[in-house]
Structure 1
């Protein structure tokens, strides 16, 4: 007799089938559970437009969540109805009170400031940060790089976006080519040792693992920046080598910026902002930058024109200095 799965287990299965990250899985499950508890454990199939609007409005008014957090919760609920319950919610025209969104101009570093941070990053994380700045990669994109994603022959890096299915390539910085070759050799040797020790598997997307069950042991699928130790996969409970923890990389970036005596809030994303801004300053057209960043809309990329505009304002001389 087949045991009927619980709703949240169905959510997890669908998320894994669609190759979403583990962090997305945890976030979506959290908000869906919160949504159900808010309505006194009423099943979502018995709820609709009014319940969704009431929940999102409550988040914005009583909970004072940020626009990003509210959108995150909304995305989780949309996923539940569309992907798990098979309900088309677009016809409901959700009109909840949305959290007030502020338009922030991204903080960027000058080239000198970038170099100062890079000089203070510990050796084992240096190549990671160089790639974030040199290729405009998000933290999760650089951490998810595998050996097969580095094309030394055509000097490009493949960035696979399993969420929006908008894959792209970015030029491989020539200054990093030798270091990348060294890193590939390090991972090759590490993988051989792991196989000898009875490990050597790596996480690969659910559908691919079913189609190619032995792929997880292949060298080309290994992460370019693996952890120093074997860990237990929270989903499968299998012991394997994952990529460097985001928290670890973020902490080292913060310490490096402090050592560089920068009075700016330096996060991993500031290198992506700086990459786009410096390309724009160098005369690269907006459409090209949009493709390199993987933005769906050019309007998203246009924020960097405002950054450059603000920089140009600094060149204006005050009347006091006439």
Structure 2
């Protein structure tokens, strides 16, 4: 790639390009997005010594007021600038939404009172930024321990959020001075009794707090038997018939039907599909390599011949976007830290690119780099849900239903359950056995006495 500085975008240019793409994804027409970018640039110049992430609501109000005093500025332009700043903080830079000084002062005052709850707010709902203000070092240690074990960004986000809630529940008392066993049990009881959370949610909270005390605070619990894990209900999976699957596909198009086809055709989980890299697709052998799946396990599954052709065409279009990014100097895709250190150029190689990249650039939450990530999984979930509604399917249909249907249809076709287990990536065949309960074939079904 030509590294001539005149052909590479600076970090600042990439930021504005990514923001413009974000605007257009949020229904700002391309012919107007430049004006929105211009208003935000004016806002940057309005307070040159203050970063975008450090600005308050008063700064925004002051900027809009100054616009109204300018000659030639109409009220519709002020409204346009206001919307540009709303998209900037609520969509492009989530987590940095400006707050008024009065809001922060009132919330801090409430947080420092020795009361179990604030009016209208759950006891474990933290004041925004308060835990970070008091215990930033502890949260940083927690993140370091999580990353040292190569846990995903989702696990990191979930564990940090549970610690925030736990600290808020105990009125922001220093966790190092609390009786770990008693306070954790009290919080878990609160989750079960007052918040009435699902068993899986309560167990996740327990896992997060055990990790926090054991690895971040170096205060491991004595006997884990002290905590009673909530029993998760054993539910039968929702499974579509083959006709229902085809009806669902008939209501989808483009990238969405391709992703749905890969999930159904290979038994992929949603995030396994979203995170596929170009090198994971083997067209010659019609198979897909699933890397770092659930439980950090790799496995091989099949690539449906029906979707192999559309996938080739899709990758050809993705490569055009990839070459444009390389020409603009956009940083490569996310790589696992150890891999990035060992192969520093791999992130920019074609084989490592995501099969389903996002339409716009985004800010990496860990490194802060503006790069092209994979497609947002919520878009796929929404597309499947809406397609199911249009197809008139009355049962609950989700992306995971496609995986359930894959397994059930293979068993209906009399494939060996061990083979299905390997394709699904189940560690224990007993997990796969649940699909035998939804089959309707001789030996596994009973005729109703009403039909005798």
Same fold (TM over 0.5): yes
CA contact (8 A) 1:57 1:96 kept: no
1:152, CA displacement in angstroms? 2.4
Does residue 180 of structure 2 align to residue 48 of structure 1?
yes
- CA gap of 1:157–1:45, structure 2 versus 1, over 3 A, is farther
- Unaligned segments of structure 1, at least 5 residues: none
**Cα offsets for 1:26-82 (capped at 9, x unmatched):** 111111222233334332585433333332222212221100101111221233244
Q: Take 1:44 and 1:167, find their aligned partners in 2: how far apart are those partners?
A: 38
**Cα offsets for 1:122-159 (capped at 9, x unmatched):** 21211100011011111110000000111223332111
1:86, CA displacement in angstroms? 4.8
Corresponding residue of 1:187: 318
Alignment of structure 1 residues 139-150 onto 2, 5 Å: 139-150=270-281
Query: SS of the residue aligned with 1:94?
Result: helix
CA contact (8 A) 2:357 2:374 kept: yes
Alignment of structure 1 residues 23-42 onto 2, 5 Å: 23-40=154-171, 41-42=173-174
CA contact (8 A) 1:231 1:241 kept: yes
CA contact (8 A) 1:141 1:159 kept: yes
Structure whose CA Rg is larger: 2
CA contact (8 A) 2:439 2:445 kept: no
Corresponding residue of 2:92: none
Match of 2:307 among 171, 176, 195: 176
Match of 2:366 among 235, 239, 243: 235
Does residue 208 of structure 2 align to residue 76 of structure 1?
yes
Q: Take 1:87 and 1:169, find their aligned partners in 2: how far apart are those partners?
A: 40
Q: Take 2:224 and 2:197, find their aligned partners in 1: how far apart are those partners?
A: 22
Higher mean Cα deviation, 192-201 or 246-255? 192-201
Match of 1:203 among 302, 327, 334: 334
**Cα offsets for 1:177-231 (capped at 9, x unmatched):** 2222222222222111111122151111122222222221111111000111112
1:311, CA displacement in angstroms? 10
CA contact (8 A) 1:160 1:166 kept: yes
Higher mean Cα deviation, 122-131 or 106-115? 122-131
Q: Take 2:177 and 2:412, find their aligned partners in 1: how far apart are those partners?
A: 52
Q: Take 1:309 and 1:85, find their aligned partners in 2: how far apart are those partners?
A: 53
Corresponding residue of 1:62: 194
- Unaligned segments of structure 2, at least 5 residues: 1-134
Q: Take 2:243 and 2:380, find their aligned partners in 1: how far apart are those partners?
A: 21
Q: Take 1:85 and 1:214, find their aligned partners in 2: how far apart are those partners?
A: 37
Alignment of structure 1 residues 305-316 onto 2, 5 Å: 305-308=436-439, 316=447
1:162, CA displacement in angstroms? 5.9
Corresponding residue of 2:425: 294
Does residue 141 of structure 2 align to residue 10 of structure 1?
yes
CA contact (8 A) 1:146 1:221 kept: yes
Query: SS of the residue aligned with 2:284?
Result: coil
Q: Take 2:316 and 2:216, find their aligned partners in 1: how far apart are those partners?
A: 43
Corresponding residue of 1:262: 393
Cα RMSD between the aligned structures? Answer: 2.5
Q: TM-score, normalised by structure 1?
A: 0.89
- CA gap of 1:68–1:266, structure 2 versus 1, over 3 A, is same
Corresponding residue of 2:47: none
Query: SS of the residue aligned with 1:170?
Result: strand
Q: Take 2:258 and 2:212, find their aligned partners in 1: how far apart are those partners?
A: 39
Query: SS of the residue aligned with 1:302?
Result: helix
1:93, CA displacement in angstroms? 2.2
Query: SS of the residue aligned with 1:169?
Result: strand
Higher mean Cα deviation, 157-166 or 132-141? 157-166
Q: Take 2:293 and 2:337, find their aligned partners in 1: how far apart are those partners?
A: 11
